[in-house]
Amino acid sequence: MKKIETLAGLQKAGVIAVVRGATKEEALQASHAIIKGGIVGIELTFTVPQADEVIRELSDAYKGHPEVLIGAGTVLDATTARLAIMSGAQYIVSPSFDRETAEICNLYQIPYLPGCMTITEMQTALKSGVDIIKLFPGSAYGPSIVSAFKAPFPQLNIMPTGGVSLDNMSEWFKAGVVAVGVGGNLLAPAAQGDFKKVTEVAKQYSDKLNEIKR
């Protein structure tokens, strides 16, 4: 049941914040600032120093808030996936599909969202039990590609990441995606230590999502 609940939670969250950071502290503060702004899906990338510790701390901090979903991103192999899961990650995101990672996620009943760009990659991922495909980088295509992918695979659940902005977010949802991943412009103020601004931008995304889903 846990996996089904997480998948439903990701769809409800709608916007998944891809959190990177130069330090553990920056990533932690950015995550708290994003959640404060109303975005409840956090994808903490393994490019962050001591990423597993950040995931553990965030998981502990939001234990009483089931709507907040803490996942791990930039997971390149099964070893990292297992480390993330043991640290409390509720879902695993990769830039590309990896069969061993899919298997370890299935073993622990944790959703796996691999980055795919082609129909072949998507078919392989679906065969391995993947429920949500991360269309990455979304900027290489744009919203119009969604219907092309869903023509042969109407059962595809797509989450574009890369190239999603406040301006084109509604187009992506209109095209039929289940969620979107956002990073760059949301996290930019964190690098300058302006976490208040991070909360403001997160709120803009959160408000936009509520408008779209109304």
Cα separation, 31 vs 62, whole angstroms:
11
- Which of 134, 150, 171, 203 is catalytic? The answer is 134
Confirm whether 171 is a catalytic residue.
Answer: no
Cα separation, 14 vs 1, whole angstroms:
20
Confirm whether 25 is a catalytic residue.
Answer: no
- Which of 43, 200, 208, 211 is catalytic? The answer is 43
The residues annotated as belonging to the active site are: 43, 134
